Chains A and B, each alone.
Chain A
């Protein structure tokens, strides 16, 4: 029971991170490897706002997420838009996002140093709650609530608003969407904004949850995120949510049963297995093999 709760808690952060990944992939068919750098920079931004400016975390979280969205717009403008329409945009986009990630990491390294930074003590009022035999901290509960709420908002946005309809149209077929009068460039920019804002929010929550932020914090979650979107099916938001919780829970149980040194092995085992057996994932539809 306790393990399941911890798994859901971890999974909610993975899912929130991966949803942003999969959104951009669904729309552009490009893997944005700078997503983890946005995640990391937003965690640092929230840390600076809370730690040095003395801001309340409830205000710092949306501000940091907004910063993430803006970083996403910058990313789209400098690393993705210039490549659009090139025949090799699939791989060159991946490389240019790696370049952007490197630049972001260098900036974080210069500004915050290579060491682990922490939120000041008591920046989030925390107390344990008892649920049957299990213990949940108020912080954990809040984090799960926030990420579930954000993912629900995203789903609603994609399903029911004009913007969401346009995003889905562009994901389906950019040319047809353009013919029908959708401003494709603008929709792509919007998806980057949303994706990166969610990734940034995940970064802040991650920083709060484990209370340690360093310039390479994005690395491990990047690989978890990849496993999540592969399991869920590339481009499928619902799939990413389900897979995020699944991998979080699986990971916690592995640590409890087998040992913590195999924590990361879980996601890779899942990743390989899915790629070999069912490359389109649980809910994916796109053909993953060329011709």
Chain B
């Protein structure tokens, strides 16, 4: 068993990081907001952490802390005006934010512009990543059954009604936006110290879409759904590598195609994600009233 773990160490590490990213998207999705800004937050976290350990020789713990908190600090002033916007407009504004962050790093000489930072000390171990993931799951799991958790659900189902009931919708939405930013930043720091490098092009639009795909495929009605989606989609290309080669398809396009096809299939046929499949399979149980779809 240890041999097995060793051989697939990087795969397990990326499952953990992608799980964190998926959870960061879940934070906004679970109150009905579609945000594509998390790749930008991830970049802020990754750069902040990398600069601290590389240029200032700060301890890794401090880098993690800074990389987690800084994106959240950026998220609050961005979220306050932007979260007032209706679904589609929020998506557009956050796409724009992600690009602005990427362009800022491309044009910033201190971080080597488009080349990015290299030779970052490797400090992330497998256990750090999984500890972080467990912590994030614990926090989100605790929120789930609590009073704020019910408030978030109410906001997702019907925001005006929730506000009428006296729920401070803006405060909840901005808090979750900031929490998502923090998780994305955390994943950014961990990844930067795992792969030794950060470059602006690693945090573009397609990265934001990848995270969204993990979360939606896994399902957002349960807090652990996004992690399942991330694990599934990270493992899948490895499992299918042999088959793709046999068909003469390059791995890059094949992975992209599968991501798209799976996302489409899930959104059409399993709108509550893979995590809802076990419950959906139990057809012999007495039917409960159908839950409304997870996204709005």
Q: Does B174 contact A (CB under 8 A)?
A: no
Partner of B87, one of A91, A230, A268: A91
Instruction: Count chain B residues whose beta carbon lies closer than 8 angstroms to a beta carbon of A.
Output: 48
- B254 / chain A contacts, CB cutoff of 8 Å: 106, 110
CB contact list, A12-71 vs B, under 8 A: 25, 29-31
* B residues in contact with A223, CB < 8 Å: 95-96, 99, 205
Q: A92 to B257, alpha carbons, bound, how many Å?
A: 19
The answer to whether A279 touches B85 (Cβ under 8 A) is yes
* Chain A residues within an 8 Å CB radius of B99: 223, 264, 268
Could you say which of B81, B88, B204, B260 has the most chain A C-beta atoms within 10 Å of its C-beta? B260
Q: Which residue of chain A has the shortest Cβ distance to B160 in the bound complex? A: A291
Q: Are A94 and B91 in contact (CB under 8 A)?
A: yes
The answer to the question of A145 belonging to the interface, with a C-beta cut-off of 8 Å to chain B, is no
- Interface-forming stretch among A79-87, A123-131, A170-178? A79-87
Q: Are B295 and A88 in contact (CB under 8 A)?
A: yes
Does B153 lie at the interface of the complex (its beta carbon under 8 Å from any beta carbon of A)? no
- Inter-chain contact B88/A90, CB cutoff 8 Å: yes
B264 close to A99 (CB less than 8 A): yes
Contact across chains for B267 and A96 when beta carbons are under 8 A apart: yes
Hey, which chain B residues are within 8 Å of A279, CB to CB?
85, 89
B296 at the interface (CB under 8 A from A): yes
Is the CB–CB distance between B91 and A289 below 8 Å? no
**B93 with A98: CB separation less than 8 A:** no
B120 interfacial contact with A, CB 8 Å = no
Report Cα–Cα, A103/B250, bound state, in Å. 14
In the bound assembly, the distance between CA atoms of A272 and B259 in angstroms comes to 30
Interface membership of A288, Cβ < 8 A? yes
Distance of A92 Cα from B217 Cα, bound (Å): 12
Which residues B239-289 have CB closer than 8 A to chain A? 249-250, 252-254, 256-257, 259-261, 263-264, 267-268, 271
Interface string of B42-57 (1 = CB under 8 A from A): 0000000000000000
Q: Contact between B100 and A98 (Cβ–Cβ < 8 Å)?
A: no
Within 8 A of A (CB), among B65-117: 81-82, 84-89, 91-93, 95-97, 99-100, 103, 106-107
B187 within 8 A of A: no
Please give, as numbers and ranges, the residues of chain A lying within 8 Å of B159 by CB-CB distance. 290-291
Interface contact A290-B293, CB-CB below 8 Å: no
B294 is an interface residue with CB less than 8 A from chain A: yes
Q: Which residues of B contact A31 (CB under 8 A)?
A: 88, 91-92
In the complex, what's the smallest C-beta–C-beta distance from A270 to chain B, in angstroms? 9
Question: In the complex, A107 Cα to B100 Cα: how many Å?
Answer: 29
Given A275-B92, A289-B85: A92 in contact with B253 (beta carbons within 8 A): no
* Closest 10 pairs between A and B when the two form their complex, measured CB to CB: A102-B260, A106-B257, A103-B260, A106-B256, A291-B160, A99-B263, A99-B264, A110-B253, A109-B253, A88-B293
On B, residues with C-beta under 8 Å from A are 34, 81-82, 84-89, 91-93, 95-97, 99-100, 103, 106-107, 159-160, 204-205, 209, 212-213, 216, 249-250, 252-254, 256-257, 259-261, 263-264, 267-268, 271, 292-296
Other 6 A-B pairs with CB < 8 A, given A107-B253, A107-B257, A290-B159: A90-B88, A94-B88, A100-B264, A219-B205, A227-B96, A275-B93
